[in-house]
Structure 1
Amino acid sequence: MFDEELADLDTSFKEMGLLVSETLEKSVQAFLDHDREQAQLIIDGDKAINEREIAIEKKSFEMIALYQPVTTDLREIVTILKAVSVLERIGDNARNIAISTIHMKGTKRVPEIEELIGKEGTQVAKMVREVLDYYVNDDVAGTENISEEALVVTESTRKIRTQSIKAMETDSEAVEAATDYIVVGGYLKRTSDYVSDIAEWIIYKRTGKIVELNPGTSSYL
């Protein structure tokens, strides 16, 4: 009975992860397409992600209380408990990007910066999918890729910030859009940090060790 419930819990976590990954991709695309209707759908859909988190947390606590698992079983439940809250925060970032999409109505856009945001969004969404694969396969070695990719995202975010500031200095009509570019870049950067957090819990699940990936790179920029 415990094994069956643990498998169900595991499946629920993976399904939520896929939902969050898809939502993030749609949110970035809506921002690039200036699609305010799609952005509103993403904002409205955030409630479903929150409800999934609550259901998974509730089930996790119930299993700990009922079965009192130890060693690897306990680590798996703790990993899900920790990682599911991180997934919910990634969902919040996707919602916040959608809010920025609506906020930018009528503002002057800068295509060069939006191209950078598109590339960074693709990279971050890829990281989310990868970390879910590592979770499914208990792939500790694969988490090293997450660390390297997070550094790439950090550098990309710096470029977005630098070019946004330059756009503000050269064109006063671009100030509002450039401000949102910096904010969206920050959401994507924080999302890559959250992916690193999930990777750390995968390592804990497999080895029982607490590690710090990308120390010193978790700031906004």
Structure 2
Amino acid sequence: MTERHHFEKEYSLLRAELVKMVSLVSDSIDMASKAFETLDRNLAQRVIDLDNEIDNLNREIENIVYDIIARFNPLGKDLRYVVAAIKLANNLERIADHACNFAEKTIWIAQNLPNFVPSQTLKEMFGRVIQMLQNTVLAFSRRDINIAIETWKMDDIIDDLDRKVTSDVENKDPHALVLNVLFSRDLERVADHLTNLCEEIVFIETGRELRELI
């Protein structure tokens, strides 16, 4: 087997592990959203339990990348993908951390404030972030820079919704206000990580910064 074949085998393993991590993080955010909507403590706990697997996968991807660079000295697009893989994995791991934050807050609310009602803006934020995540996964799987760019632009909508959350909490109940703001801050950070992922997808495919293509 030639060195190129060995490289392609490791490269395929790296991509497979990234695809697996994308899938797990998507599941984590989706479950966190559903747990929040229904105050389902069991589902929220599943999100927390999944975090260890995602953390381990992040470390595994880092090790594969270091091994590929040390053994094969990749160039061009191969190098861009390998280097970007660590950034992709790190952003995915942080998104999963925020999903855990959602889950932990959901468990606390279910135990202490079972009548908590999230603001309509917060519900819209959750929906928009889920849409961003789905689009980012699609851009990654299809290697489609146009989807990545359009998804990146959605971050401005999330920022606007984040600023609006504090203004539409019914009766300005202090507990509700604080919880809505805490959730919105986590969602805003998830959106930031998704924009980072979109930037990496564009860089992998083109070798250029996303902002240069707008």
Question: Is TM > 0.5 for Structure 1 vs Structure 2?
Answer: yes
Q: Does the aligned pair in 2 maintain the 1:116–1:156 contact within 8 Å?
A: yes
Match for residue 62 of structure 2? Answer: 57
Distance, in Å, in 2 between the alignment partners of 1:175 and 1:163 is: 13
Instruction: Specify which of 57, 77, 84 is matched with residue 82 of structure 2.
Output: 77
Q: CA deviation at 1:67?
A: 0.6
Per the alignment, in what secondary structure is the counterpart of residue 127 of structure 2? helix
Distance, in Å, in 2 between the alignment partners of 1:181 and 1:111 is: 9
5+ unaligned residues in a row in structure 2: which ranges?
Answer: 1-5
Aligned pairs, how many? Answer: 206
1:146-161 mapped onto 2 (5 Å cutoff)? 146-161=151-166
1:199 aligns with 2:205: no
Per the alignment, in what secondary structure is the counterpart of residue 111 of structure 1? coil
Aligned-pair Cα RMSD in Å:
1.9
Relative distance call for 1:46 and 1:187 in structure 2 (3 A) is same
1:21-100 mapped onto 2 (5 Å cutoff)? 21-100=26-105
Q: CA deviation at 1:35?
A: 1.3
Q: Following superposition, which runs of at least 4 residues in structure 1 exceed 4 angstroms of deviation?
A: none
User: Which amino acid is the alignment partner of residue 106 of structure 1?
Assistant: N
Match for residue 127 of structure 1? Answer: 132
Distance, in Å, in 1 between the alignment partners of 2:186 and 2:64 is: 29
Distance, in Å, in 1 between the alignment partners of 2:177 and 2:43 is: 22
Distance, in Å, in 2 between the alignment partners of 1:9 and 1:92 is: 22
Match for residue 3 of structure 2? Answer: none
Taking only the aligned residue pairs, the percentage that are identical comes to 24
Distance, in Å, in 2 between the alignment partners of 1:162 and 1:108 is: 22
Q: CA deviation at 1:210?
A: 3.0
Distance, in Å, in 1 between the alignment partners of 2:116 and 2:45 is: 22
5+ unaligned residues in a row in structure 1: which ranges?
Answer: 169-173, 214-221
User: Which amino acid is the alignment partner of residue 113 of structure 2?
Assistant: T
TM-score, reference length from structure 1: 0.86
Distance, in Å, in 2 between the alignment partners of 1:86 and 1:207 is: 20
